């Protein structure tokens, strides 16, 4: 009888976090008060991105998420080659909201800092419906309207992980190392925007 066991080397990953209703409500209130343009600092080829002023409630929440990530992963950013000062803490550095409309996209990019996150607030289309568009049918790489992480395997080969978009994604956060490549593919067939919140955490002394 064959005797075997799979060995999967330790690696870093990301967290999925379902936001409590009170945090979602808090974010919508922040979005209602947003007015400062953030586009010049961002990679997105999208219509509107505005800076958000983080509330105390959100700062507390993102601190809990950071602690939870560090319980699951022993992530050390590649760019931190020098010893980290003992008094250094990881704090929210910037926070913004995106309004993405049909045909707009976010190219492959990384973020500033130690950790980053994306929170989906409003999803106007379902990826399963988008995949029925004539140009998307029978493709070997189904990704229209998806959010995608890019990474390499232990052989240096390119890999990707798609998040299909839809109502089930509203209120979900992905929390990941800031140096992890990610991108957002365009969607089609509606004038409604996709609304998302994103942010970066960095070392502060």
> Which residue is it, tokens 């998420």?
65
> Whose CA is closest to 38, among 124, 97, 101, 115?
97
The two tokens of residue 95 are 């926070």
Structural domain contains residue 88? yes
Structural domain contains residue 172? yes
Structural domain contains residue 10? no
- As for how many domains the chain has, the answer is 1
Provide the residue range defining the domain that includes 59.
15-74+83-204
The mean pLDDT value for 96-113 works out to 97
Structural domain contains residue 42? yes
* CATH at residue 28: 2.60.120.620
Residues 6+ apart with CB under 8 A from 32: none
Q: Please state, in angstroms and rounded to a whole number, the distance separating the CA atoms of residues 42 and 104.
A: 14
Q: Please state, in angstroms and rounded to a whole number, the distance separating the CA atoms of residues 64 and 174.
A: 14
Structural domain contains residue 137? yes
Structural domain contains residue 3? no
Whole-number Cα distances in Å, 35 to 59, 97, 105, 139: 20, 10, 22, 40
Q: What is the pLDDT of residues 2-27, one digit of tens each?
A: 999 999 888 899 999 999 999 999 99
Q: What is the pLDDT of residues 108-130, one digit of tens each?
A: 999 989 999 999 999 999 999 99
> What pTM, to 2 d.p., does this model score?
0.93
Structural domain contains residue 9? no
Query: What is the dihedral sign for C-alpha 168, 169, 173, 177?
Result: positive
């Amino acid at each position: 009888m064959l005797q075997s066991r799979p060995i999967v080397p330790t690696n870093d990953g990301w967290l999925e976090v379902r936001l409590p209703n009170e945090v979602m409500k808090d974010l919508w209130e922040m979005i209602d008060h947003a007015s400062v343009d953030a586009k010049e600092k961002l990679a997105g080829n999208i219509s509107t991105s505005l800076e958000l002023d983080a509330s105390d409630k959100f700062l507390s929440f993102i601190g809990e998420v950071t602690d939870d990530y560090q319980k699951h992963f022993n992530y050390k950013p590649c760019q931190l080659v020098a010893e980290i000062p003992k008094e250094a803490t990881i704090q929210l550095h910037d926070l913004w909201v995106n309004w993405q409309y049909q045909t707009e996209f976010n190219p492959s990019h990384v973020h500033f800092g130690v950790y980053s996150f994306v929170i989906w607030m409003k999803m106007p289309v379902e990826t399963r419906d988008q995949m029925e568009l004539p140009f998307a049918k029978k493709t070997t790489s189904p990704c229209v309207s998806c959010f995608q992480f890019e990474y390499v395997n232990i052989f240096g080969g390119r890999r990707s992980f798609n998040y299909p978009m839809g109502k089930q994604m509203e209120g979900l956060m992905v929390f990941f190392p800031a140096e992890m490549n990610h991108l957002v593919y365009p969607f089609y067939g509606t004038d409604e925007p996709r609304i998302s919140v994103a942010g970066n955490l960095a070392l502060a002394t």
